[in-house]
Amino acid sequence: MSKKATNKKSRGSFDGRGSGNFRILGLQLQDIIKAFFGGNAAIAVVVIALICFFLAREAYQFFPDYRAELEVYRKSGQEFVGFIDDEASKHQEIKSLAFQAYGYEIYHRTKQHEQILEVYNELRNRSKTAAKGVLELRQRAFDKGDSIAAELDPKIKEAAEAEYKAHNTRAEKVISEYLAEFTRDDLSTASLSTIPKEDFELVKKSVSESMTSKNKEDAEFILETKMLRDAASEAAAKALEPFYAGVMEISAARNELDKMIKELRPHALKTKQFAVAYESAEARKEALAEGSENATSEERRARLEIESKRVLTTPPNYEERNQILYDSIEAHSAAADSMLTQTRSGVAKLDASMLKSQDAIDRVAIIQKKSKKLSDEINKTENALRVWNHKEPYSGWKTFFGFFFGQKWVTNSTWQDFYGLAPLFSGSLIIAVIAIVISVPFSIGAAIYVNQIATQFEKTAIKPILEFIGAIPSIVLGLFGILVLGDFLQKVSAIEWLANLLPGFPIESRLNMLNAGLLLAFMAVPTIFTLAEDALNNVPRAHSEASLALGATKMQTVLKVVFPAAISGILAAVLLGFGRVIGETMVVLLVAGNRISVPDFTAGLGVITQPAHTMTGIIAQEMGEVGEGTLHWRALFMVGLILFLISLSLNWAAQSVIRKFSRHH
Amino acid sequence: MPTPKPQKKNPFEKKKQSLFSKEVLIAIVLVVCTYFILACTFGVFGKIIANGAPVLAQYGTHFLTRSPETLVVTEVAEGENFVLPEDAFEVVELYNPKVEFKNTREGQTDEKTERFKIPAGVHAIPDGWVAELESANKGLYINWKSRNPDVDLVVEVAEDTVLTFDSANWEKFRTPIRDNMRVKRTELFNVKETTHTLVVKAGKTRLSKGVIGALDPTDLIYIIQSVLTDDDAASKLFDVEIPNQQTITVNDNIFNTVIGEGEGKLPTISASTDVLITDRSRVTIAAGHYLVPLTSYFDLKDANPGIQFSVRQGKREGVVMGEFPEDATLELPEALYADFIRENPALPVEHIETLSTPTTTITFDLGEPTDLSMPNTERNQLAIFNPSLKVEKEQSFSYSGGGVKGPLIGTALLVTLCIVVALFIGVSASVYLNEYSGKGKFLKTVRLAMLNLAGVPSIIFGLFGLMLFVIAAPRVTSTPAVNDKFKIPLFPSLSEPSMRKMEAEQILAVDSNTSTADAVIKAKTIGRAKFYKGWTFLSFEGWGTSLLAGGLTLAVMVLPVIITACEESLRAVPMGFREASLALGASKWQSIRTAVLPYAFPGILTASVLGITRVAGETAPIMFTAAVAAKSNSPFEITGEPGIVNATENFFLQSLQALPYHIYTVAGRIPQSEFTEPMQYGATLLFLIVVMGLAGLSVWLRIRARKKLKW
């Protein structure tokens, strides 16, 4: 690499320091040694420069390529259909929320019975696995007793029955032993562990009864529960009839628009195929011609030549193909209007006062909010459609903004790939903020305690332990998040009073931003702690001595003299901790849930319990599967570049905070 | 509430009290913060140890001596006399501690191996047998001079078979094998074939999808104006342009498809019909083995595409001329040997002896249908030793069986390479920074670069390694890849790549006076990855996902840590040492070598351990640069051409399993179940022990060095 001389000063040959007249290229041995060491020192610079170069080079080509692709997207009329699609997806949100609300309400009304049945099914399946062998043997004995041979010979029947009985007794024993050890916490779904203890015992009894009864009938208790459940759900359906009518009306509102999309989508897709084929046609033709020149056999040469001549190289007629889109604008406004009116009348029928489930009520509230925005959405689409023109070139700025603020990150799509940073960036940022908000008070509290208050023994014991945390590999913490923390959080969040108290509880998915944030908070502790402790350590003793001499208490000295004096070092520690957290890969890849969409901020603070994807995670997940030089590859490098710039600027900020601080002293 | 005191001695009493309680509160908060972190730490460690220790205790050395395999859970029906070799049985017992193996008893079987000699020389061997011989004889590498179409191949005809030939072909086929062929019946018949000559009109027209499909294999040049998609019906019409008037000859089938009434048919000016009559023979061949020349074999296959012949061969071009430079003594298992002799009657094989290795087997009974979980290897043995095994159901879990030997070795190799490189660069750099460099722009730049390098996210290092080492690093090679970044010709190459290598690596050999650009184009057009033109190049084609790429990526990443730590240890050496040495007349380098570096050594050692701790746990940088999820052989078993240069190259350019990546695979990439959990916790605990052990070592070394080295 750049081992080139850093110092080309040639010295006289008799300076008494070298090894006589040994020279290469006019350099003395000592100079060469120095240059060699200097070259190694320069590697750090070279590496940074190369990282910048690679990231920048790949990312630099991203925008023009992306723009060209979006230009095709516009020319082929896909953009036009995309507008209508977006509008439809807004309605889809309302529709699925409505169905969810209905489902939650029904479940809520039959919950006490449903849960018992769910537990019953789980226990039954588990006992079946536990006593698998015996049950299998029992089944065979039964079959033997049921066979024609047994019909003819009573001896066989008797023997089979005895065998059956023996296996049955054993099965009963195995199952009852298994069930005796099984507690409510062992159930696979956390929310089920809240069922009443008496019910749980009854379920256990029913399981062992039904498994060992001859005709495997369900026990009395279960049959009763099933009846109750059926009755309850029937009653619920009846009571909710007007509500359901509203749901159905909302659902039906989009039929016309859907029909329109179904017609236009394939048309636009086909135009795109023309466009894509046209773009590569010349190259394909040439490649085939070249191939035929270099072909090994005459037969193959002729074949390639024919194929080369068959390639179409004229551009598609966009004007003609897009006319159908321009013509559909009126039809669209009619469809959209009818969708709006029907949705409105449907939403009006969703009466929250007849609901009992909090989940359902929440959803109805969201529906009402969203349906109000629907008309804006339709107007927006309408305007966009009217001004849309396939000939208008796609502007560079729009591409640029489309990347940085785009809400979609869609890859390997048959329709169109979109590279929007917003979902990834917001995921990374929220997780990092959670981690820092949790980590900072604890680490700084610990730093103050260890540095100022703790006994010597505590100091020597605690510091290495906290430094040890830094050595825990991130993949280990990720695994901990998947196997332990996820379930733990879900269980805790299902506790009634906590669920009512905190937003976002109970948690819906095991892998989410909170889970990842907690783990990253733990990971950030050693960084922040060590640097903050150093900063506190660097405060001159004279400060605290002066304060104590003036009669301040120990605490006053710590909080009002030492801490403010170290504040900039602590700030730098927090910044560096933030940098470490936002660049962390494995934990977020495993634990954040990897759902690529902008988190739903309408949930307020509860947003932190949603799954998300991150910038680091997307690189780690997708980089291995993309071809070199493709647009997707470049998009990932672009994400890498942004990540790199973020970490550089955090680093720079931390350094300048420290510099400012040291100038004061 | 106590009654208020009558006299207020100190007006600040109350304030002081509230201040005191406030301070106590703050102190408590601080204590809680500290100990909460400690509690979390112990919680994490505790949970992993609590779940991992039983796994390690259960599997013990098995976990360390086996590489990851697929875990198979087999539902075996109850029965008696299941047989397994002793070691396999031990593994099965280990995996199924709860299962009761009844009535276990020892027995013996003999595993017979045949030893034989192949004399030196060039022999024709079917492709498939080359692989078979090499897998049974470690270290054997059969090079080949050429694939030879003139040799005979033994074709096994399992039962009496009816074959159909053109009569001319039949004679051609029959002549060379007349001696050993038993023909049961020959039947002659005629086939009429009609061909049509069509003159196609130029101009735009509409053709249906079916017509276009039928025209595809003909010579007709037509340009489709719209794009075909799969979901279109066969009758769908497409705009097609026929650029000029053409004459084509087609068979009956195509003719009937493209010509006719209605829309979508081919517009023609005229059509004429010819009839061709071909003689055919229908031959019934008796079951048996026949020696058939390779070329005739292909005729046979082409004429009878539906019939399967048993010939052991890897590729279509079946027989190679294997080169044995000296007499080779080889071994094959008994069963395979019989096949080998039968299928290679022309090979001058000399049987030497039959070796028999007694193996202890365990026979056991199962009282009831049981789920047995075991690694894939044991499952295969179960199938071999119990041909009548009744399996009800089977589930498999990727990478969840066996142990972590491969990943452990892989991590050790990566870390070793990384530390060797990073220490070399790091020590040199710190010597420069601490001993040579004065304050100046260069020093400032280096320090700034290091500071920033330390803050770069690990995934960015992964991208850097991918671009620099995997894709663009230079290699000195006589067979450069066609899609490299650029190449510099160096000198004529010393030896030609063997035929076998050419085929395995898709190398195109061109004339030495072909220009490089032409060679690249030629290789590209026929789909070869590399070319050879008798010249050695410095080709910037990257090292692929490899040990070297991963190790260097990690080294670059850990550089700031190492440099900082080394510098610290150099700075700790008192100035007086250097001054004394220089005063005695030593040169700068001499004094560094003798008076500085030896005393900094303990510090450098600490730095290296610290560096190992950092890199051993990293996953992101090796994800695209070195790690693979599955690898069948150990990193030290190097396959491929013999020779020290090849072996070294293959060693450093192989991809590896690595422990953190393995944990990622079992935790994040395969579905979770109760059967995958032991591997997850076991591997994680082991990994944690290794990394934490190193971390502990580095802390201990640092404390010791600080205590000991005080001047």
Does residue B612 fall inside a structural domain?
A: no
* Chain centroid, CA A531 distance in Å: 31
Query: DSSP state, B669?
Result: I
Chain A contacts in chain B segment 402-461 (CB below 8 A) = 424-425, 428-433, 435-437, 442, 445-446, 449-453, 455-461
Backbone Cα Rg of chain A = 35
Give the minimum alpha-carbon distance from B357 to chain A in angstroms, rounded to a whole number. 37
Give the minimum alpha-carbon distance from B22 to chain A in angstroms, rounded to a whole number. 9
Spatial separation of the C-alpha atoms in residues B153 and B178, rounded to whole Å: 15
Question: Would you say B548 and B475 are in contact if contact means Cβ atoms under 8 Å apart?
Answer: no
Parallel, antiparallel or unpaired: strands B507-509 and B530-532: parallel
Give the minimum alpha-carbon distance from A24 to chain B in angstroms, rounded to a whole number. 17
B308 in the same domain as B388: no
Chain A contacts in chain B segment 486-505 (CB below 8 A) = none
- Partner A contacted by B467 (CB < 8 A): yes
Does residue B256 fall inside a structural domain?
A: yes
Whose structure tokens read 């006992």?
Answer: A127
User: Could you read off the pLDDT of A50-88 as tens digits, one per residue?
Assistant: 999 999 988 888 999 999 888 888 888 888 888 888 888
Spatial separation of the C-alpha atoms in residues A488 and A485, rounded to whole Å: 5
Chain A contacts in chain B segment 19-58 (CB below 8 A) = 19, 23, 26-27, 29-34, 36-38, 40-41, 44, 47-48, 51
The pLDDT of residue A12: 40
- Partner B contacted by A583 (CB < 8 A): yes
Q: Answer yes or no: do A449 and B223 touch at CB < 8 A.
A: no
Does residue B616 fall inside a structural domain?
A: no
Optimal mutation site among A13, A33, A439, A474, interface B, most CBs of chain B within 10 A: A33
B395 in the same domain as B321: no
Q: Answer yes or no: do B449 and A443 touch at CB < 8 A.
A: no
Residue that terminates a domain, selected from B233, B264, B281: B281
Does residue B61 fall inside a structural domain?
A: no
Residue that terminates a domain, selected from B347, B371, B393: B347
The pLDDT of residue A215: 66
Does residue B26 fall inside a structural domain?
A: no
> Can you tell me the mean pLDDT for B276-294?
78
Q: What is the domain extent for residue B276?
A: 187-281
The pLDDT of residue A13: 38
Query: What CATH number corresponds to the domain at position B255?
Result: 3.30.70
Element at B372 (helix H, strand E): strand B370-375
Tell whether the torsion through CA atoms of A97, A103, A104 and A106 is positive or negative: positive
| Confidence class for position B224, pLDDT limits 50, 70, 90 | confident
The pLDDT of residue A9: 42
User: Could you read off the pLDDT of B82-102 as tens digits, one per residue?
Assistant: 888 888 888 888 888 888 888
Angle made by CA atoms A333, A336, A338, in degrees to the nearest 5? 110
Here the ipTM equals: 0.86
Spatial separation of the C-alpha atoms in residues A585 and A477, rounded to whole Å: 11
**The pLDDT of residue B145 is above 80:** no
Element at A469 (helix H, strand E): helix A456-471
Does residue B456 fall inside a structural domain?
A: no
Does residue B654 fall inside a structural domain?
A: no
- Partner A contacted by B191 (CB < 8 A): no
Q: Tell me which chain A residues have a C-beta less than 8 angstroms from the C-beta of B425.
A: 40, 43
Q: Answer yes or no: do A47 and B559 touch at CB < 8 A.
A: yes
Whose structure tokens read 């500071």?
Answer: B451
B201 in the same domain as B250: yes
Chain A contacts in chain B segment 608-627 (CB below 8 A) = 613, 616-620, 623-624
Question: Would you say A123 and A279 are in contact if contact means Cβ atoms under 8 Å apart?
Answer: no
Spatial separation of the C-alpha atoms in residues A88 and B410, rounded to whole Å: 52
**The pLDDT of residue B1 is above 50:** no
Looking at chain B, which residue has its C-alpha nearest residue A447?
B34
Burial class (CB in 10 A: 0-12, 13-18, 19+), B575: exposed
B263 in the same domain as B196: yes
Spatial separation of the C-alpha atoms in residues A485 and A491, rounded to whole Å: 10
Supply φ then ψ for residue A410, to 5 degrees: -120, 125
Optimal mutation site among A47, A646, A652, interface B, most CBs of chain B within 10 A: A47
B274 in the same domain as B196: yes
Give the minimum alpha-carbon distance from A45 to chain B in angstroms, rounded to a whole number. 5
Cβ contacts from A onto B, under 8 A: 299
User: Could you read off the pLDDT of A139-194 as tens digits, one per residue?
Assistant: 888 888 777 877 788 888 888 888 888 888 888 888 888 888 888 777 777 677 77
B243 in the same domain as B101: no
The pLDDT of residue A555: 85
Per-residue b/e over B476-485, b at no fewer than 16 CB within 10 Å? ebbbbbbebe
- Partner B contacted by A624 (CB < 8 A): yes
Tell whether the torsion through CA atoms of A585, A588, A593 and A596 is positive or negative: negative
**The pLDDT of residue B400 is above 50:** yes
Length of chain A: 665
Supply φ then ψ for residue B224, to 5 degrees: -80, 125
B80 in the same domain as B219: no
> Can you tell me the mean pLDDT for B479-494?
83
Whose structure tokens read 């230079």?
Answer: B474
Does residue B37 fall inside a structural domain?
A: no
B247 in the same domain as B167: no
Give the minimum alpha-carbon distance from B309 to chain A in angstroms, rounded to a whole number. 28
The pLDDT of residue A216: 66
User: Could you read off the pLDDT of B678-711 as tens digits, one per residue?
Assistant: 888 999 999 999 888 888 888 787 777 767 655 5
Helix residue ranges, H only, B466-574: 499-504, 516-525, 547-571
B242 in the same domain as B307: no
For residue B76, the cross-strand partners are B370, B391
Higher pLDDT, A243 or B172: A243
B305 in the same domain as B266: no
Optimal mutation site among A476, A576, A585, interface B, most CBs of chain B within 10 A: A476
Parallel, antiparallel or unpaired: strands B535-540 and B474-477: antiparallel
Q: Tell me which chain B residues have a C-beta less than 8 angstroms from the C-beta of A525.
A: 37
Residue that terminates a domain, selected from B227, B260, B281: B281
Q: Tell me which chain B residues have a C-beta less than 8 angstroms from the C-beta of A516.
A: none
> Can you tell me the mean pLDDT for B15-38?
85
B206 in the same domain as B341: no
User: Could you read off the pLDDT of B528-558 as tens digits, one per residue?
Assistant: 888 888 888 888 888 989 999 999 999 999 9
- What total of structural domains would you count in chain B? 4
Please report the DSSP string for A395-456 in residue order.
PHHHHHHHHHH-S-EE-S-SS--EE-SHHHHHHHHHHHHHHHHHHHHHHHHHHHIIIIIS-H
Helix residue ranges, H only, B144-270: 167-174, 209-215, 252-258
Closest in A30, A34, A583 to B457, CB measured: A583
Q: What is the mean pLDDT of chain B?
A: 82
- Partner B contacted by A443 (CB < 8 A): yes
Which amino acid is present at A310? Answer: R
**The pLDDT of residue B280 is above 60:** yes
Closest in B429, B463, B616 to A619, CB measured: B463
> Can you tell me the mean pLDDT for B42-60?
90
Extract the residue ranges of chain A whose pLDDT is less than 50.
Answer: 1-19
Q: Answer yes or no: do B436 and A38 touch at CB < 8 A.
A: yes
Q: Which of A446-460, B39-53, B589-603, B695-709 is predicted with the least confidence, judged by mean pLDDT?
A: B695-709
The pLDDT of residue A518: 94
What is the token pair recorded at B644?
């020290």
**The pLDDT of residue B231 is above 70:** no
- Partner A contacted by B464 (CB < 8 A): yes
The pLDDT of residue B238: 79
